[in-house]
Structure 1
Amino acid sequence: MEMVREMMGLPVEQGNAVLDDGLVMRVGIPHKGGKLAFHAFNEGFPVMVSANAFWQPATQSFQFPQATDLSELDFAMDSAGYTAMKMWQAKGTQRGMAGVFPWTYEQYIEFATLCGASWWSQPDLCCEPEIAHNQEEIDFRINATATLLEGVLRVLYEWQNQLAKTCSASVVASMLRPPVPVVQGWSVSDYERSLDLLNAVWERWQPWLAAPALIGVGSVCRRNLKHPKHGLFAVLAALEGKLPKGSRLHLFGVKGAALSEVKMLDWVASVDSMAYDFGARIKARESGISNSIAHRSSEMSRWMSAAANRMRPIPGDQFRLNLFG
């Protein structure tokens, strides 16, 4: 009741994303603009971009370009957890969140909420084997991901309180939108525990927040799809029955080969991938050609076309409905 009394001037039941009915494929753009973003704009591709693309180490600040095709795109923002972790491993303790990110809570939240992204993800700590070398490290990162979510929500709540002194609830809600929370881990049990922690954090902030419309699933791009303990399909099967009512998933960095199965899960809202860019480098090296922007753009279109084909319904598909939504 105390929180309810405190937030009488605040928006309530705030959603963290507005979602399409079908499965959305977002193509990863490694830059804050340029010709790859222009190509995605021309093709009408939804986009995923990393917060790291906008970070300026020299000034220790985020900078959104004055002119970029991203402004005209449907783009979502990833918190750059993998890049931050690699930087932390190479350079040691950083000045920002958790001593891992180079930017603070305040810098990230301000940029993420004002840049025009369709949605933005909470800061999270990835758990791929080349980054997290044992179960102790994985457990720590799962706990830290939940702690980072709590930190983001505390800052956001305080900022909304301050803004509510001079603005209407609708203005507050439009200016400072909640993040997409993220579950992390490597094995099925890791993700189940991460989701339990996520739910415990998020529920503390209701009814200021609605149940998350979208939840991200991290560390999925470098894994076997069908392994019984840490395969993507096993992880998704375990998460399905524990999702908050109405919540759907975004899969960060999913393999194209997974799409023919993922498309039949109506509780998966979206996926993203930069596989086209990795493939472009490999093809250019093997063919002895320059990995030019034109080559990368062509590979983007080819990859997205193949992804669209995998996502298209075909005879024999058995679409699974979310029985817990």
Structure 2
Amino acid sequence: MAIEIVIGLPHLNEGPILARARRMVQPALISANALSRWSKAKGWPEWRGWRLAQLANAQGLASLDLDSAGFVAMKRYGGYAWSVDDYFRLATAYPFRRIASLDYCTEHEIAGDREEVLDRISRTIRANRDCRDRARDLGLADRFMPVLQGRMPADYERCAEGLWWSMQPGTVVGVGSMCRREIAGPNGLVAVVAHLDRILPTGVRLHIFGAKGAALPWLKDFGERVASIDSQAYGIAARRDAHRRRVSKTDALVAEHLQRWTRLQFQRLREPARRAAPIVAPAIPELTLDPWEVAIAEARAEIRALIESGDLEHDEMTIGWIEQWAADLYRTQLDRADA
């Protein structure tokens, strides 16, 4: 079974990009942010709901998947502007083939240290549970796509363990924080996929969000484990082309690059599968013995456990709250030492 190439669409405006996607008969993906309405009347971006009427333009596409726009939400707005209920109002407005869970990406520009990565894995686990429950309530469980997050390969295993209920044969699971990741190396795209291939049950397949097209010959080595990839890399190529030629980056130009990029991916799929050299897993960073840092780590671990268990919401963790929680633990440690 060949890896499916999914076109990431920048919008659903009627025009050259959408017309080209229809003619190419390729499955497509749209980000929730691309369907958002924003207002700057107050001097800053304020989310005002969804542009649902645009979904009518998706008619004629081979299929359309929905992505929660986790990276964009974190990078531009510091978090999701929409709730789980808001997101599923969008999910029910069109017969999307797959509806990806909300998730918390772990790219370096978003998660600056190891503790933040672990925090975001726990928040991803809880967000998946909330989205799964809503999907079940709305009769969308068969279209719901869980999403894994992490920085190192072992992080994705930790996330998969938290989502054990979704790791069933026939399920397509999204793998996030991949679009800025190198192909090779101990934390590279291939290393993550190889680790998941070893630990996931047979029949669980992967959708790699934002995978570099150059990775396709290596991904072929995993047989049927990898179901699909998506990308909007053609948009970057169009921007560079427009800059080089000193012309406007029109949708017509982007559409040409869309078709060129897709043809290149099919050429890569025809290349022989490539096998990466054995990968040595990176060492887990050692924990500090400083009492205050230990208290911070314990506070984070306790809050993560409460988020994953459902006792706290996935968006309730703040630095101030962590420090207050740690201060209580720290005082308890001092009291015990003095006793």
Q: CA deviation at 1:213?
A: 1.2
From 177, 180, 183, the counterpart of 1:225: 183
The amino acid of 2:235's aligned partner reads D
In the alignment of these two chains, the number of paired residues is 266
| 1:270 aligned counterpart, secondary structure | strand
- Whether the aligned pair in 2 keeps the contact of 1:105 and 1:151 (CA below 8 Å) is yes
Q: CA deviation at 1:68?
A: 4.3
- Whether the aligned pair in 2 keeps the contact of 1:85 and 1:101 (CA below 8 Å) is yes
Does 1:61 find its partner at 2:18? no
Give the structure 2 partner of residue 186 of structure 1. 151
Q: Tell me the distance in 2 between the aligned counterparts of 1:45 and 1:156.
A: 26
Give the structure 2 partner of residue 105 of structure 1. 84
Q: Tell me the distance in 2 between the aligned counterparts of 1:241 and 1:71.
A: 39
Q: Tell me the distance in 1 between the aligned counterparts of 2:193 and 2:97.
A: 24
TM-score between the two structures when normalised by the length of structure 2 = 0.73
Does 1:82 find its partner at 2:71? yes
| 2:100 aligned counterpart, secondary structure | coil
From 47, 59, 78, the counterpart of 1:71: 59
Does 1:258 find its partner at 2:215? yes
Q: Which has the higher helix share?
A: 2
Equivalent residues in 2 for 1:1-325, closer than 5 Å: 21-35=1-15, 36-58=17-39, 60-65=48-53, 68-73=56-61, 74-89=63-78, 100-157=79-136, 159-160=137-138, 172=139, 177-199=142-164, 202=166, 213-228=171-186, 230-265=187-222, 266-312=224-270, 314=272, 317=273
Q: Tell me the distance in 1 between the aligned counterparts of 2:131 and 2:146.
A: 10
The amino acid of 1:192's aligned partner reads E
Q: CA deviation at 1:177?
A: 4.2
- Whether the aligned pair in 1 keeps the contact of 2:64 and 2:97 (CA below 8 Å) is yes
Larger Rg: 2
- Whether the aligned pair in 1 keeps the contact of 2:12 and 2:54 (CA below 8 Å) is no
TM-score between the two structures when normalised by the length of structure 1 = 0.76
The amino acid of 1:43's aligned partner reads M
Q: Tell me the distance in 1 between the aligned counterparts of 2:10 and 2:100.
A: 17
The amino acid of 1:129's aligned partner reads H
| 1:241 aligned counterpart, secondary structure | helix
- Whether the aligned pair in 2 keeps the contact of 1:212 and 1:244 (CA below 8 Å) is no
| 1:56 aligned counterpart, secondary structure | strand
- Whether the aligned pair in 2 keeps the contact of 1:149 and 1:181 (CA below 8 Å) is yes
- The 1:243/1:78 distance shift into structure 2, 3 A limit, reads same
Identify unmatched segments of 5+ residues in structure 2: 40-46, 276-339
Runs of 4 or more consecutive aligned structure 1 residues displaced over 6 Å after TM superposition? none
Superposition RMSD in Å? 2.2
The amino acid of 1:187's aligned partner reads M
| 2:227 aligned counterpart, secondary structure | strand
Q: Tell me the distance in 2 between the aligned counterparts of 1:282 and 1:313.
A: 27
Q: CA deviation at 1:133?
A: 0.9
| 1:60 aligned counterpart, secondary structure | strand
Q: Which has the higher contact order (CA 8 A, sep 6+)?
A: 1
The amino acid of 1:198's aligned partner reads L
Q: Tell me the distance in 2 between the aligned counterparts of 1:190 and 1:236.
A: 12
| 2:95 aligned counterpart, secondary structure | coil
Q: CA deviation at 1:179?
A: 1.5
Identify unmatched segments of 5+ residues in structure 1: 1-20, 90-99, 161-171, 204-209, 320-325
